[in-house]
Amino acid sequence: MNALAATNRNFKLASRLLGLDSKLEKSLLIPFREIKVECTIPKDDGTLASFVGFRIQHDNARGPMKGGIRYHPEVDPDEVNALAQLMTWKTAVANIPYGGAKGGIGCNPGDLSISELERLTRVFTQKIHDLIGVHTDVPAPDMGTNPQTMAWILDEYSKFHGYSPAVVTGKPIDLGGSLGRDAATGRGVLFATEALLHEHGKSIAGQRFVVQGFGNVGSWAAQLISENGGKIVAASDITGAVKNSKGLDIPSLLKHVKETRGVKGFAGGDPIDADSILVEDCDILLPAALGGVINRENANDIKAKFIIEAANHPTDPEADEILAKKGVVILPDIYANSGGVTVSYFEWVQNIQGFLWDEEKVNNELKTYMINGFKGMKEMCKTHNCDLRMGAFTLGVNRVARATVLRGWEA
């Protein structure tokens, strides 16, 4: 089942639990606007190249639309639609005043020079500048984009609308980015894990973790978990996987990854097959890479008691059912990885106020939002007698539905 089908299925299940009528359900699913633009740029050798840029704006009942911009050669419209919709529910679960969006450009950023990427980003911004905005739609980095990409968007947008730092988040600190943004998703994963374990009378200290995906989110989560006494017994990324049943030395692993651009060859652990990482023996599994990695093929072999979805949509609906029968507790992505968008919201707030918070305030506010999100999700679980995924979906969908009705938008 692809990401869009799975997201639609979860939405429909939540909608039924909430008793939404079919007209409202339909209007919540249909995207607000889909934008597709041609971006033609001169390459460094003087030839012209054309790329397709797009933005799917899903819902703005609760506030400006929010979501990443990815540069990737295979941009699947269905996947982008699903991710835009997921952002609508995720921002509602986090209780921040946004709706959902997603977008990007179909290109391979590795094949383009820095100056070509800059030209492409600026042309894309010229094409969509009147469709994004501080109170309309606020982009952020995603796969293949970074703070520099956001800086170019900010500069190009400001040529049309005056200096507007709040038009994008995930910016460099020097242009109004927020302290603590880099670690935000990983730190949110830490707070989410703490909240879940506390519910089960446990703490992070002494628990054995497996981290699949050692990029920004996975590496920050691993670092913060190990600082709080958790043991990371295995970690993997695109280059390979390592395990150490006594616990990997995370500071050394981070140093190794920085130097060699991957976990492969790390001396402080034994190499293992990266495909087997998900079924390694551990207490808590943390998928922090791609979607769809936990499926009916491997779900029966998973030994973890808890799964914290740091990635978007890592668990297939079929695997969900298998794992539920085994008694595995899954903390769903739309709650577990919402730390990033929450701190993006703090960045936007700081830009609008023109007032920079210190890092301690950012982290404390994030912790408050993650704890409140967990409480809201658990309350929905009790009300509707459902698992955590449906608890999160009913919480998010209900908030968006209420805003839609209050604004007089229901069909």
Give catalytic residues, as residue numbers. Answer: 102
* Cβ contacts of 360 within 8 Å, gap of 6 or more: none
CA 119: distance to chain centroid?
27
Q: End-to-end CA distance of the chain, in Å? A: 30
283: CB partners within 8 A, 6+ apart: 207, 208, 209, 304, 305, 306
Closest CA to 37 of 85, 84, 106: 106
Closest CA to 271 of 219, 230, 238, 234: 234
Give the H or E element holding residue 105.
Answer: strand 99-106
Sort 239 into a burial class: Cβ within 10 Å, 0-12 / 13-18 / 19+.
Answer: middle
Say how many residues make up the chain. 411
Cα torsion angle, 64, 67, 72, 73, sign: negative
Residues with Cβ < 8 Å from 91, sequence gap 6 or more? Answer: 62, 63, 66, 97, 98, 99, 100, 338, 341, 396
DSSP track, 106-152: ES-GGGS-HHHHHHHHHHHHHHHTTT-BTTTEEEEE-TT--HHHHHH
Contact 285, 308 (CB under 8 A): yes
With contact defined as beta carbons under 8 Å apart, do 120 and 51 qualify? yes
Task: Report yes or no: 121 and 149 within 8 Å, Cβ to Cβ.
Answer: yes
Question: CA–CA separation, 65 vs 32, rounded Å?
Answer: 10
CA distance 368 to 123: 39
Burial 29-59 (b: 16+ CB within 10 A, else e): bebbebbebebebeeeeeeebebebbbbbbb
Q: What is the sign of the dihedral through the CA atoms of 319, 320, 325 and 330? A: positive
